[in-house]
Structure 1
Amino acid sequence: MADNMVPGESEVVFVDFWANLFGMRVLIALRELGMSFEYIEEDLSIRKKSDLVLRMNPVYRMVPILIHRGHPICNSINILEYIDEVWGHRHAEAGGTQLLPADPLERASARFWADFVDHKVFNTEMRLFKSKGDDEKEAAKGELIRQLRQLEGALGDKNFFSGDEFGFLDIVVIPLSSMFRAYEQQGTFDLEVECPKLMRWEKRCKERESVRSTLPDEEEVYRMHKKWYGIE
């Protein structure tokens, strides 16, 4: 045990909130690789942050946080890459695949689309939920559909974003599906009509135990996000 580990603390600890889409990525990755870890719930429904979060992420004071042998790793994309670098090779040696593609161009593409989700799709989601008036809502809805179609274009006719194997970009994107019904209700549109390939991909992902055991009830997630966005 490293000197800076708290007595009784597991080697791998994950701190998150159940409705946090970013944290769902990390849970899926840990479960996909068959990792043993301790989960600590951080209640984001209250304003006061726990001492653990303030100590482990004093810069942003946010979850998700992965703690490995007492050392914190923050930001979901950063955590996914860390998990893959530290434990992905063991999974590959056991007959699985690493999370990120082996090919440098494919890795760059996966990172590009991950950045697109974090800096485009989530921002548009916020606009949709916070829109005032029909015109503003219609503009946000149209932009969100366009962005989801762009993701669908990156998927193409493949089973998963990297081909036949579930991997990094699938893990980044699939937590969004917890908000798909919310998008439809908030924007009054049908994703089965707008993005049929993406919906078939969603069903394939949810056949995996790592995904199925992680994603929470969509209506509960919707209610929590309405509370966060102040529309209840």
Structure 2
Amino acid sequence: MGSEEVKLIGLWVSLFGRRVEWALKLKGVKYEYVEEDIMNTKKSKSPLILKYNPIHKKVPVLLHHDKAIVESLLILEYIDETWKQNPILPKDPYERAMARFWADFGDKKLLEASFAALVFSHGEEQDKALKQTIEYLEIINGELKGKKFFGGETIGYLDLVMGWIPHWLPVWEKVAGMEVLDPIKFPYMNAWMENIMNFPIIKDYLPPRDKMLVYYHGRRQLLAFNVDTV
């Protein structure tokens, strides 16, 4: 399959785009990457985004034979169903349903709370966001007890979905002057983080930390809470 058949429109710092890249790398799918700086096109979205994602106007967008698939969780499922090698989602229907449940929990609970803690500089709003972040991490930590990865011994769908935690969350901690990833409080989470960060397709395709620090310092100053801009 030629790379002209698969294109990924993304933003270098987008954790949503990275999970799609990891899935493509895990599957061994050749693709062309197109950088789309949506952060600098607030007033006038690029023709590419307006064409392929006119409703949400955001990245990532996967193009397969010029057909657009949007929303990272849906893209991961599309990739898994289209390229059968190295399955990402569990085969068992119950385990598959639970993987989807925890992916939704990760994005709608943990990700939103931790990004809110980054954006809110002080006061009750940040305190609430920090408390929620720690509560959600406790829940996920419990799910990882006795596991190398979320699905057991092999990296899979949930690991790709949650793969932002070891790299993005420490950056947000640094930028916001907060601490949530306590290795003593979350031993299973931290063991999983080490396994993820040592996995080749993850560690070789991460945005530079120093560049991220500069970026999120700037975003923190400008953003009201909006998880779509993560």
Q: By the TM > 0.5 criterion, same fold?
A: yes
The equivalent of 1:28 in structure 2 is 22
* 1:9 positional shift: 7.8
Tell me whether 1:217 sits opposite 2:213 in the alignment.
no
Does structure 1 retain, via aligned residues, the 8 Å contact 2:38–2:58?
no
d(CA) in 2 for partners of 1:34, 1:183: 31
Q: Is the 8 A contact 2:7 2:63 kept in 1?
A: yes
Structure 1, unaligned runs of 5 or more: 2-7, 92-96
Q: Mean alpha-carbon deviation: is it higher for 49-58 or for 165-174? A: 49-58
TM-score with structure 2 setting the length:
0.88
Specify the SS of the correspondent of 1:67: strand
- 1:155 alignment counterpart: 144
d(CA) in 2 for partners of 1:202 and 1:152? 11
Question: Given the alignment, which residue of 193, 197, 209 partners 1:206?
Answer: 197
TM-superposed CA distance for 1:138, in Å, is 2.5
In the alignment, is the contact (CA less than 8 A) between 1:145 and 1:194 conserved in 2?
Answer: no
- Worse-superposed segment, 200-209 or 42-51: 42-51
Q: Secondary structure at the match of 2:162?
A: helix
Work out the CA distance in 1 between the residues paired with 2:125 and 2:74: 33
Match of 1:58 among 40, 54, 77: 54
Are the aligned partners of 1:178 and 1:221 in contact in 2 as well (CA < 8 Å)?
A: no
Which one of 3, 6, 12 corresponds to residue 12 of structure 1?
6
- Which amino acid letter does the alignment assign opposite residue 185 of structure 2? E
Shift of 1:208: 1.8
Counterpart-to-counterpart distance in 2, 1:53 and 1:67: 12
Q: Distance in 2 between matches of 1:211 and 1:127?
A: 25
CA distance in 1, matches of 2:73, 2:144: 19
**TM-score scaled to structure 1, two decimals?**
0.87
**SS of residue in 2 equivalent to 1:100:** coil
Moved segments of 4+, more than 6 Å: none
SS of the counterpart of 1:79?
A: helix
2:140 is the counterpart of 1:144: no
Provide structure 2 residue ranges, at least 5 long, that are not aligned to the other structure.
224-230
| Aligned twin of 2:74 | 78
Contact in 1 for aligned 2:80/2:89 (Cα 8 Å): yes
Aligned pair count reads 219
Q: What's the counterpart of residue 182 of structure 1? A: 171
**How far 1:231 moved relative to its partner?**
5.9
Please give the secondary structure, in 2, of the residue aligned with 1:10: helix
Distance of 2:116 and 2:99 partners within structure 1: 25
Which whole-Å CA distance do the structure 1 matches of 2:180 and 2:76 have between them?
32
- CA spacing shift, 1:190–1:102, aligned 2, 3 Å: closer
Aligned to 1:45: 39
Asked whether the 8 Å contact 1:28–1:171 carries over to 2, the reply is yes
Question: Matched residues in 2 for 1:14 and 1:189: separation?
Answer: 32
Identify which of 173, 190, 193 aligns with 2:184: 193
